[in-house]
């Protein structure tokens, strides 16, 4: 065994893994969408397993309430207002220097997801909203990438491994055991949930154990795909409730045959094409709106803007992010602004109010 594989000895003992699987893992690339609860657990495990290139994309900064379940971060990250992707990158480099970690501090949307996914073999879902998941699903189906969906809320979790139907070109469609392709996410969930129809971590809470189970499951499935063990990928939809001691695996394979899926059958990639994209997004579990309609050709001078905003309340700014507390018409808001003009306005779930606060204090 060569020296650079010694740290992976225990997982290489697994039948079907071995040195060949480890070398495939080292040569692989994973796009991790979101580095919050699910994403931070998945990133830690993937880096320790020896994924060659881990691309971590997250739009947000670390808050104190994140630390209950987001395992890569600590109180110093909160104090320094470090973006999650950057904090994760710093931590993972100390865990495994053999892994190349790329930090993407950006909102993933239809204009950039293909660029960030270039060269990736697998997409791991650490997202907190269905619009983002439909976007990832569109990309996975259009490009023939494995997409590992996961979600956790309260004490419940759900996960599913998408090996999309394409045109018979993927390894799972040409496998010796036959076509191993699965339904895609939109086969299972054809439409976005109606506003207010689904609980969030703000209304239902979340326990870290549920997060850990989903993320560990996603990573196990990713390792199967990346090491070539496609016949071991679970083709059922996993659901569990830790509080009520319920675990079920649902056979959903007929969903592809029985549904006229707009994505994998009609090849209508409305989210990837931008036809279904939203300019303002309410953030899961937070009284906040993200605005991404303002994009600048050159980066904003965050420290300079911070000096102007200090007249309105406490401000902190560094090269990555500006955070300002604003009192406006009896309301208390917090603006988190990134260099490209993307902003999160906390203190309202109303997109119109968020846009108004942005216009008055950042500019149009």
What band does 201 get if pLDDT is binned at 50, 70 and 90? Answer: low
Q: Is the per-residue pLDDT at 216 higher than 70?
A: yes
Q: Is the per-residue pLDDT at 196 higher than 50?
A: no
Structure tokens at 216: 């560990």
Structure tokens at 219: 């990573």
Q: Using CA atoms, how far apart are residues 277 and 264, in angstroms rounded to an integer?
A: 19
Lowest-confidence pick of 86-90, 101-105, 285-289: 285-289
> Catalytic residue positions?
201
pLDDT at position 3, please? 56
For 252, residues 6+ apart whose C-beta sits below 8 A from its C-beta are: 160, 182, 183, 187, 188, 235, 236, 237
* Mean pLDDT (whole number) for 151-173: 94
Whole-structure pTM value: 0.83
Q: Is the per-residue pLDDT at 57 higher than 60?
A: yes
Whether residue 99 contacts residue 47, with contact meaning beta carbons closer than 8 Å, is answered with yes
Q: Is the per-residue pLDDT at 197 higher than 50?
A: no
Q: Using CA atoms, how far apart are residues 334 and 325, in angstroms rounded to an integer?
A: 4
Q: Is the per-residue pLDDT at 283 higher than 80?
A: no
pLDDT tens for 325-340 read: 988 877 899 999 998 8
Q: Using CA atoms, how far apart are residues 186 and 184, in angstroms rounded to an integer?
A: 6
- Where is pLDDT greater, at 233 or 364? 233
- Where is pLDDT greater, at 296 or 173? 173
* Per CATH, domain 3-273 is 3.40.50.720: yes
């Amino acid at each position: 065994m060569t020296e650079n594989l010694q740290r992976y000895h225990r997982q290489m003992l697994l039948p079907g893994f071995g040195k060949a699987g480890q070398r495939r893992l080292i040569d692989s690339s994973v796009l991790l969408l979101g580095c919050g609860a699910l994403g931070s657990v998945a990133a830690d495990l993937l880096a320790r397993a020896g994924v060659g290139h881990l691309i971590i994309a997250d739009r947000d900064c670390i808050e104190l309430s994140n630390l209950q379940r987001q395992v890569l971060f600590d109180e110093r990250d909160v104090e320094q207002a470090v973006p999650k992707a950057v904090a994760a990158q710093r931590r993972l480099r100390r865990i495994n220097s053999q892994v190349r970690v790329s930090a993407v501090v950006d909102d993933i949307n239809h204009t950039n997801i293909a660029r960030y996914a270039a060269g990736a073999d697998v997409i791991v879902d650490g997202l907190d909203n269905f619009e983002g998941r439909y976007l990832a699903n569109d990309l996975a189906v259009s490009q023939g990438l494995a997409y590992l969906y996961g979600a956790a809320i309260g004490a419940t979790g759900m996960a599913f491994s998408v090996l999309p139907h394409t045109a018979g070109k993927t390894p799972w469609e040409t496998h010796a055991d036959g076509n191993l392709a699965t339904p895609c996410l939109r086969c299972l969930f054809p439409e976005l949930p109606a506003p207010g129809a689904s609980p969030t971590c703000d209304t239902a809470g979340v326990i870290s154990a549920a997060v850990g189970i989903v993320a560990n499951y996603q990573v196990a499935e990713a390792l199967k795909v990346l090491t070539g063990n496609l016949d071991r990928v679970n083709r059922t939809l996993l659901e569990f409730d830790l509080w009520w001691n319920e675990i079920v695996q649902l056979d959903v394979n007929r969903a592809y045959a029985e549904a006229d899926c707009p994505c994998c059958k009609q090849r209508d990639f409305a989210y990837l094409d931008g036809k279904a994209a939203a300019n303002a997004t309410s953030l899961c579990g937070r009284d906040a709106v993200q605005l991404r309609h303002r994009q600048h050709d050159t980066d904003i001078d965050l420290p300079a803007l911070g000096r102007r905003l200090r007249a309105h309340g406490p401000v902190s700014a560094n090269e990555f992010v500006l955070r300002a507390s604003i009192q406006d018409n009896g309301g208390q808001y917090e603006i988190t602004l990134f260099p490209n003009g993307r902003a999160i306005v906390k203190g309202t779930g109303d997109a119109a109010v968020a846009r108004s606060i942005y216009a008055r204090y950042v500019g149009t």
